[in-house]
């Protein structure tokens, strides 16, 4: 924060120093449509667009990655379900039921928490219990290693989902988006212009559109909440796949 304040102060000081050194050169520029205002307005608009683009692209990319990771977790669950078929009957039934319970728990109980950027520790505990049961099963080493590898893949996919749930845009980005948006809106007034009548209409329209855009940057800031929210459809499909596998077994 101190570095940011220092950078802003240094930039303002450069402007003040330059204005002082060049005070006797050129002509005064008091026109709201003059070169100084035009240059500042163009740069402020460019800055807002840059910040706004980052505020949109980062959550969009995160949501896309979260969607892919969710499908990967579902695939890992299905492969684990298949691999459990090599377990002794009692262990097979327990592991497959535990997998169904785990996926149902994620869809029903854990997904709402992820909208707040949180995960339930119960999900991790369920996978630990799965790993422990498989490790204790009476199997040859190759078969046990295969099933444990599938459980590990499922656990790794869960970890990626946890990372996606906790990912937000860089600190201060949303605040900077709001700040630059406000400055762009009030800039004509700061420059000395006093729009009246119909000249206020396009300014108000621009302000309204900027407000909607800024709201959207906040609304999509989490991968599992808002307009770009990733839903549990992939895992619901997994539950259907479990039924199909069990029916064909």
Number of Cβ within a 10 Å radius of residue 7: 10
Put simply, whether the predicted model's pTM sits higher than 0.85 gets the answer no
Q: What is the pLDDT of residues 151-191, one digit of tens each?
A: 899 999 999 999 998 888 887 888 888 888 888 888 777 77
* DSSP result, 146-162: HHHHHHHHHHHHHHHHH
> What mean pLDDT do residues 85-91 have?
84
**pLDDT at residue 139 is higher than 60:** yes
Domain ranges (residues) in the chain? 34-248
**pLDDT at residue 14 is higher than 60:** no
**pLDDT at residue 43 is higher than 90:** no
How far, rounded to the nearest angstrom, does the alpha carbon of residue 183 sit from its chain's CA centroid? 26
**pLDDT at residue 76 is higher than 80:** yes
Q: How far apart are CA 167 and CA 162, in angstroms?
A: 9
pLDDT value, residue 173: 85
**pLDDT at residue 20 is higher than 70:** no
| DSSP code for 225 | S
């Amino acid at each position: 924060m101190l570095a940011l304040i220092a950078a802003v102060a240094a930039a303002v000081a450069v402007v003040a120093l330059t204005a002082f050194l060049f005070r006797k050169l050129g002509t005064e520029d008091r026109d709201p449509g003059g070169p100084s205002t035009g240059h500042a307005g163009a740069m402020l608009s460019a800055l807002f667009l840059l910040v706004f683009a980052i505020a949109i692209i980062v959550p969009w990319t995160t949501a896309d990655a979260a969607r892919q990771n969710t499908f990967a977790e579902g695939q890992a669950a299905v492969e684990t379900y298949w691999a459990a078929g090599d377990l002794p009957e009692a262990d097979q039934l327990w592991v497959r039921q535990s997998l169904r319970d785990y996926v149902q728990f994620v869809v029903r109980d854990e997904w709402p928490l992820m909208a707040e950027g949180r995960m339930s520790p119960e999900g991790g505990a369920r996978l630990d219990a799965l790993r422990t049961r498989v490790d204790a099963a009476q199997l040859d080493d190759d078969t046990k290693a295969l099933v444990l590898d599938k459980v590990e893949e499922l656990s790794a996919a869960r970890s990626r989902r946890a990372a996606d749930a906790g990912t937000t845009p860089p600190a201060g980005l949303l605040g900077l988006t709001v700040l630059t948006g406000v400055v762009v809106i009030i800039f004509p007034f700061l420059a000395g212009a006093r729009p009246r009548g119909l000249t206020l209409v396009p300014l108000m329209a621009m302000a309204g559109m900027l407000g909607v855009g800024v709201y959207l940057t906040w609304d999509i800031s989490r991968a599992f909440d808002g307009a770009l929210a990733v839903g549990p459809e992939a895992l619901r499909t997994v539950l259907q796949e479990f039924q199909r596998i069990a029916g064909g077994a």
